[in-house]
Amino acid sequence: MDIIEAIEKRISCRAFEQRPLDAETYQALADEVARINEESGLRFQLYGPREDGTAIDMAPNMFAGNPPCYAALVGPVGPEPEEQLGYYGERLVLFATQLGLGTCWVASTYDQATTRAEIGEGEKLHDVVPIGYAPAKMPLRQRTIRTGIRARDKKLAAMWKGPTPLGDAPEWIQACISAVHKGPSAINEQPVVFVQDADGAPVRATVPEVRRGLEYTDMGIAKLHFEIVARECGMPGTWEWGDDGAFVVD
Ligand SMILES: Cc1cc2nc3c(=O)[nH]c(=O)nc-3n(C[C@H](O)[C@H](O)[C@H](O)COP(=O)(O)O)c2cc1C
Alpha helices in the chain (DSSP H): 3-9, 23-40, 79-98, 140-150, 171-181, 215-232
176-207: pLDDT as tens digits: 999 999 999 999 999 999 999 999 999 999 99
Nearest residue CA, atom 31 of ligand 1? 185
In sequence order, the 6+-apart residues with CB closer than 8 A to the CB of 27 are none
Number of Cβ within 10 Å of residue 30's Cβ equals 15
User: What is the distance of C-alpha 2 from the center of its chain?
Assistant: 17
Radius of gyration of the chain (CA): 18
Atom number of ligand 1 nearest to Cα 62: 11
- Looking at the DSSP bridge assignments, the partners of residue 131 are 69, 103
152-164: pLDDT as tens digits: 999 999 999 999 9
118-166: pLDDT as tens digits: 999 999 999 999 999 999 999 999 999 999 999 999 999 999 999 999 9
Q: How high does pLDDT run on average in the chain?
A: 97
Structural contact between residues 62 and 35, judged by C-beta atoms closer than 8 angstroms? no
Nearest residue CA, atom 19 of ligand 1? 184
93-117: pLDDT as tens digits: 999 999 999 999 999 999 999 999 9
- The pocket around ligand 1, CB under 6 angstroms, is made up of 11-12, 62, 104-109, 127, 146, 149-150, 184-188, 214, 217-218, 221
Q: What per-residue confidence (pLDDT) applies to 78?
A: 96
**Domain regions of the chain by residue span:** 3-141, 152-249
Instruction: With a cut of 90, say whether residue 212 has pLDDT above it.
Output: no
Looking at domain 152-249, its CATH class is alpha beta
User: Separation of 242 CA from ligand 1 center, angstroms?
Assistant: 22
Atom number of ligand 1 nearest to Cα 183: 27
CATH, range 3-141 = 3.40.109.10
Would the pTM of this model clear 0.75, i.e. be above it? yes
Confirm whether 3-141 and 152-249 share one CATH topology.
yes
For residues 17 and 56, give the distance between their C-alpha atoms in angstroms, rounded to a whole number.
14
